[in-house]
Protein backbone atom coordinates (compact mmCIF):
# COMPACT_ATOMS: atom_id res chain seq x y z
CA UNK A 1 0.00 0.00 0.00
CA UNK A 2 2.91 2.34 0.70
CA UNK A 3 4.03 2.03 -2.90
CA UNK A 4 0.55 2.95 -4.13
CA UNK A 5 0.40 6.02 -1.89
CA UNK A 6 3.82 7.04 -3.14
CA UNK A 7 2.70 6.52 -6.73
CA UNK A 8 -0.38 8.69 -6.19
CA UNK A 9 1.77 11.36 -4.54
CA UNK A 10 4.18 11.32 -7.50
CA UNK A 11 1.31 11.80 -9.95
CA UNK A 12 -0.22 14.66 -7.98
CA UNK A 13 3.18 16.31 -7.48
CA UNK A 14 4.01 16.12 -11.19
CA UNK A 15 0.55 17.45 -12.04
CA UNK A 16 0.97 20.37 -9.63
CA UNK A 17 4.41 21.13 -11.06
CA UNK A 18 3.09 21.05 -14.62
CA UNK A 19 5.98 18.84 -15.71
CA UNK A 20 4.75 16.64 -18.56
CA UNK A 21 7.80 14.36 -18.54
CA UNK A 22 7.57 13.70 -14.78
CA UNK A 23 3.83 13.15 -15.11
CA UNK A 24 4.35 10.70 -17.96
CA UNK A 25 6.75 8.66 -15.84
CA UNK A 26 4.53 8.82 -12.74
CA UNK A 27 1.44 7.67 -14.66
CA UNK A 28 3.14 4.35 -15.42
CA UNK A 29 2.35 3.29 -11.84
CA UNK A 30 -0.69 0.96 -11.45
CA UNK A 31 -2.23 3.43 -8.98
CA UNK A 32 -3.18 5.48 -12.04
CA UNK A 33 -6.15 3.16 -12.57
CA UNK A 34 -7.98 3.67 -9.23
CA UNK A 35 -6.91 7.33 -9.22
CA UNK A 36 -8.26 7.71 -12.74
CA UNK A 37 -11.57 6.09 -11.73
CA UNK A 38 -12.03 8.52 -8.84
CA UNK A 39 -11.09 11.51 -11.00
CA UNK A 40 -13.41 10.34 -13.80
CA UNK A 41 -16.40 9.95 -11.49
CA UNK A 42 -15.70 13.30 -9.80
CA UNK A 43 -15.44 15.04 -13.16
CA UNK A 44 -18.58 13.27 -14.36
CA UNK A 45 -20.51 14.52 -11.33
CA UNK A 46 -19.12 18.03 -11.97
CA UNK A 47 -20.44 17.93 -15.55
CA UNK A 48 -23.76 16.61 -14.27
CA UNK A 49 -24.01 19.58 -11.92
CA UNK A 50 -23.14 21.88 -14.82
CA UNK A 51 -26.01 20.38 -16.82
CA UNK A 52 -28.38 21.04 -13.92
CA UNK A 53 -27.18 24.63 -13.43
CA UNK A 54 -26.88 25.55 -17.12
CA UNK A 55 -29.79 24.11 -19.15
CA UNK A 56 -28.21 25.28 -22.42
CA UNK A 57 -25.19 23.03 -21.78
CA UNK A 58 -27.47 20.08 -21.00
CA UNK A 59 -29.28 20.49 -24.32
CA UNK A 60 -26.52 21.69 -26.64
CA UNK A 61 -22.98 20.98 -25.38
CA UNK A 62 -22.15 17.96 -27.52
CA UNK A 63 -24.19 19.16 -30.46
CA UNK A 64 -22.34 22.48 -30.52
CA UNK A 65 -18.95 20.77 -30.53
CA UNK A 66 -20.10 18.42 -33.30
CA UNK A 67 -21.48 21.19 -35.50
CA UNK A 68 -18.41 23.43 -35.07
CA UNK A 69 -16.07 20.53 -35.86
CA UNK A 70 -18.11 19.51 -38.91
CA UNK A 71 -18.26 23.06 -40.28
CA UNK A 72 -14.53 23.53 -39.72
CA UNK A 73 -13.77 20.30 -41.61
CA UNK A 74 -16.04 21.32 -44.47
CA UNK A 75 -14.58 24.82 -44.66
CA UNK A 76 -10.98 23.58 -44.67
CA UNK A 77 -11.62 20.99 -47.37
CA UNK A 78 -13.68 23.37 -49.52
CA UNK A 79 -11.14 26.19 -49.42
CA UNK A 80 -8.07 24.02 -49.83
CA UNK A 81 -9.49 22.06 -52.76
CA UNK A 82 -10.04 25.33 -54.62
CA UNK A 83 -6.61 26.64 -53.62
CA UNK A 84 -4.92 23.42 -54.70
CA UNK A 85 -6.54 22.92 -58.09
CA UNK A 86 -7.02 26.56 -59.07
CA UNK A 87 -4.04 28.34 -57.55
CA UNK A 88 -1.67 25.35 -57.08
CA UNK A 89 -1.07 26.21 -53.41
CA UNK A 90 -2.06 24.44 -50.21
CA UNK A 91 -1.37 24.95 -46.51
CA UNK A 92 0.48 21.92 -45.07
CA UNK A 93 -1.89 21.42 -42.12
CA UNK A 94 -4.99 21.16 -44.33
CA UNK A 95 -4.52 17.37 -44.53
CA UNK A 96 -3.60 16.79 -40.86
CA UNK A 97 -6.08 18.97 -38.96
CA UNK A 98 -9.38 17.61 -40.42
CA UNK A 99 -8.78 14.04 -39.15
CA UNK A 100 -8.37 15.35 -35.61
CA UNK A 101 -11.52 17.44 -35.96
CA UNK A 102 -13.38 14.40 -37.26
CA UNK A 103 -12.33 12.36 -34.22
CA UNK A 104 -13.44 15.16 -31.89
CA UNK A 105 -16.81 15.20 -33.65
CA UNK A 106 -17.05 11.41 -33.30
CA UNK A 107 -16.12 11.31 -29.61
CA UNK A 108 -18.61 13.99 -28.59
CA UNK A 109 -21.17 12.40 -30.91
CA UNK A 110 -20.79 9.21 -28.87
CA UNK A 111 -21.64 11.15 -25.71
CA UNK A 112 -24.63 12.74 -27.43
CA UNK A 113 -26.03 9.40 -28.56
CA UNK A 114 -25.57 7.92 -25.10
CA UNK A 115 -27.74 10.78 -23.89
CA UNK A 116 -30.38 9.78 -26.48
CA UNK A 117 -29.90 6.05 -25.69
CA UNK A 118 -29.42 5.19 -29.35
CA UNK A 119 -26.27 3.05 -28.85
CA UNK A 120 -27.31 -0.64 -29.02
CA UNK A 121 -30.38 -0.09 -26.86
CA UNK A 122 -32.20 -3.29 -27.96
CA UNK A 123 -35.44 -1.50 -27.07
CA UNK A 124 -37.75 -3.91 -28.90
CA UNK A 125 -36.30 -6.89 -27.01
CA UNK A 126 -36.23 -5.16 -23.63
CA UNK A 127 -39.81 -3.89 -23.87
CA UNK A 128 -40.96 -7.51 -23.60
CA UNK A 129 -38.96 -8.17 -20.44
CA UNK A 130 -40.32 -7.95 -16.88
CA UNK A 131 -39.91 -4.59 -15.20
CA UNK A 132 -37.14 -5.85 -12.92
CA UNK A 133 -35.30 -7.25 -15.94
CA UNK A 134 -35.58 -3.92 -17.74
CA UNK A 135 -34.10 -2.09 -14.76
CA UNK A 136 -31.32 -4.64 -14.48
CA UNK A 137 -30.41 -4.14 -18.13
CA UNK A 138 -30.40 -0.35 -17.75
CA UNK A 139 -28.11 -0.50 -14.71
CA UNK A 140 -25.88 -2.98 -16.52
CA UNK A 141 -25.69 -0.53 -19.44
CA UNK A 142 -24.58 2.20 -17.04
CA UNK A 143 -21.89 0.02 -15.47
CA UNK A 144 -20.58 -1.09 -18.86
CA UNK A 145 -20.42 2.48 -20.17
CA UNK A 146 -18.60 3.64 -17.04
CA UNK A 147 -16.15 0.74 -17.27
CA UNK A 148 -15.52 1.35 -20.95
CA UNK A 149 -15.04 5.08 -20.35
CA UNK A 150 -12.66 4.34 -17.46
CA UNK A 151 -10.37 2.36 -19.77
CA UNK A 152 -10.55 4.98 -22.52
CA UNK A 153 -9.94 7.94 -20.21
CA UNK A 154 -6.95 6.44 -18.39
CA UNK A 155 -5.24 5.17 -21.54
CA UNK A 156 -5.95 8.34 -23.51
CA UNK A 157 -4.65 10.53 -20.67
CA UNK A 158 -1.40 8.58 -20.82
CA UNK A 159 -1.30 9.24 -24.56
CA UNK A 160 -1.96 12.95 -24.04
CA UNK A 161 0.77 13.32 -21.42
CA UNK A 162 3.23 11.29 -23.50
CA UNK A 163 2.51 13.55 -26.49
CA UNK A 164 3.06 16.66 -24.38
CA UNK A 165 6.28 15.33 -22.84
CA UNK A 166 7.69 14.59 -26.31
CA UNK A 167 6.60 17.98 -27.70
CA UNK A 168 4.74 16.36 -30.57
CA UNK A 169 3.77 19.07 -33.04
CA UNK A 170 0.84 18.88 -35.44
CA UNK A 171 2.26 17.95 -38.84
CA UNK A 172 2.29 20.94 -41.16
CA UNK A 173 2.54 23.48 -38.34
CA UNK A 174 5.38 25.10 -36.42
CA UNK A 175 3.99 25.45 -32.90
CA UNK A 176 0.57 23.71 -32.66
CA UNK A 177 0.84 20.81 -30.22
CA UNK A 178 -0.96 17.52 -30.84
CA UNK A 179 -2.00 17.14 -27.21
CA UNK A 180 -4.22 20.22 -27.54
CA UNK A 181 -6.47 18.08 -29.72
CA UNK A 182 -5.88 14.71 -28.04
CA UNK A 183 -7.10 16.06 -24.68
CA UNK A 184 -10.58 16.22 -26.21
CA UNK A 185 -10.81 12.42 -26.06
CA UNK A 186 -10.78 11.99 -22.26
CA UNK A 187 -12.88 15.17 -22.03
CA UNK A 188 -15.52 13.74 -24.37
CA UNK A 189 -15.69 10.46 -22.47
CA UNK A 190 -16.03 12.40 -19.22
CA UNK A 191 -19.12 14.08 -20.65
CA UNK A 192 -20.27 10.58 -21.64
CA UNK A 193 -19.95 9.45 -18.02
CA UNK A 194 -22.04 12.46 -17.00
CA UNK A 195 -24.71 11.42 -19.50
CA UNK A 196 -24.64 7.87 -18.14
CA UNK A 197 -25.10 9.14 -14.59
CA UNK A 198 -27.89 11.43 -15.77
CA UNK A 199 -29.69 8.53 -17.47
CA UNK A 200 -29.19 6.28 -14.44
CA UNK A 201 -30.77 8.83 -12.11
CA UNK A 202 -33.68 9.18 -14.54
CA UNK A 203 -34.13 5.40 -14.68
CA UNK A 204 -34.11 5.08 -10.89
CA UNK A 205 -36.72 7.84 -10.62
CA UNK A 206 -38.92 6.18 -13.24
CA UNK A 207 -38.59 2.79 -11.54
CA UNK A 208 -39.63 4.22 -8.18
CA UNK A 209 -42.57 6.11 -9.71
CA UNK A 210 -43.73 3.09 -11.72
CA UNK A 211 -43.21 4.92 -15.02
CA UNK A 212 -42.24 3.38 -18.35
CA UNK A 213 -38.57 2.40 -18.30
CA UNK A 214 -37.81 1.43 -21.90
CA UNK A 215 -38.76 4.01 -24.49
CA UNK A 216 -38.12 3.97 -28.21
CA UNK A 217 -35.15 6.19 -29.04
CA UNK A 218 -34.69 8.04 -32.33
CA UNK A 219 -31.22 8.68 -33.79
CA UNK A 220 -30.78 12.43 -34.11
CA UNK A 221 -33.79 13.10 -31.91
CA UNK A 222 -33.93 15.05 -28.69
Is residue 218 one of the residues assigned to a domain? no
Residue 161 lies in a domain: yes
User: Concatenated DSSP letters for 121-153?
Assistant: --HHHHTTS-HHHHHHHHHHHHHHHHHHHHHHH
Question: Is residue 217 domain-resident?
Answer: no
DSSP structural state of residue 180: H
The answer to whether the beta carbons of residues 95 and 77 sit under 8 Å apart is no
Q: Are residues 9 and 87 both part of a single domain? A: no
- d(C-alpha 173, C-alpha 166), whole Å: 16
Total domains present in the chain: 2
DSSP 94: G
Three-state secondary structure call for residue 174: coil
- Alpha-carbon dihedral 110, 111, 114, 119, rounded to 10 degrees: 10
132, 203 Cβ separation under 8 angstroms: no
pLDDT by residue for the chain (222 residues), tens digit each?
Answer: 666 788 788 888 888 888 888 888 888 888 899 999 999 999 999 999 999 999 999 999 999 999 999 999 999 999 999 988 888 888 889 889 999 999 999 999 999 999 988 876 777 787 888 888 889 989 999 999 999 999 999 999 999 999 999 999 998 888 899 999 999 999 999 999 999 999 999 999 988 988 888 877 666 555
Both 203 and 132 in a single domain? Answer: yes
Same domain assignment for residues 10 and 36: no
Q: Are residues 25 and 47 in the same domain?
A: no
DSSP 83: H
* Domain that includes residue 128, residue range: 31-208
Q: Count H helices, E strands: the chain? A: 9, 0
Q: Is residue 213 part of a domain?
A: no
- Indicate whether 99 and 169 sit together in one domain: yes
Amino acid sequence: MTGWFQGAQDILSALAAGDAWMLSEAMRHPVMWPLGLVAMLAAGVAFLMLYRLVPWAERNLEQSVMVVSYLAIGAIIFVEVIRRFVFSVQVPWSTTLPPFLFLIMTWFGCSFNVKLRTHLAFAEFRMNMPRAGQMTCLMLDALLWIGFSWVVIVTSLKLVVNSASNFQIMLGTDNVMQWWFLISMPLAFTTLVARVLENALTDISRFRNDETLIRQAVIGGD
